[in-house]
A = this chain, B = another copy of it.
Amino acid sequence: MSTISSTRDVISSERVEGTAVYNAAGEKLGTIDDLMIDKVSGQVRYAVMEFGGFLGIGTDRYPVPWSMLKYDTAQDGYVVPLDKDKLQGAPRYAGDSVPDYDDAYSSTINKYYGF
C-alpha cells in the first residue's frame, strides 16, 4: 500500500496520512489524516480522521483518542467502533484550522468518547 511504510511493525510519520480506517464489519470508513503525538513521551494521543468521502459528513477532521483504534494486521489498517450517528456531535474542525490541543480541548475530546 502506498500509504503504509514497507516496514513490518512501525509506520513512518511521513506515511501516516491516508492510512485506512475500518468499522467492525470491515467496511472502510475513511482515513487517518494526522496523528497528534505527545512531545515528551512520544505516545500518540489522537488520530485525526477524515470520513467525508465515505459517510457523507463533509471534509472536517475528527480527533479520536488513540486507545479507540485497534490495528488489524490483515487489513493493514485500523478498526474503530464509530458510526455516522456517533460522529454527528463529535469534536471536529476544518483541515486548515487545527485548534490548540490544550487541556480544555483534550478534555472535550476525551469526554465525548467516554474517557
Contact = CB atoms under 8 A, between A and B. Distances in A.
A108 interface: no
A115 to B, nearest CB: 14
A86 B15 CA distance: 29
Interface in A1-33: 5-14, 16-17
B13 A71 contact: no
Interface residues of A, number: 33
A111 interface: no
Given A10-B39, A42-B44, 13 more contacts: A5-B36, A8-B102, A9-B102, A10-B46, A12-B35, A12-B98, A13-B34, A13-B36, A14-B17, A35-B42, A37-B44, A42-B43, A42-B69
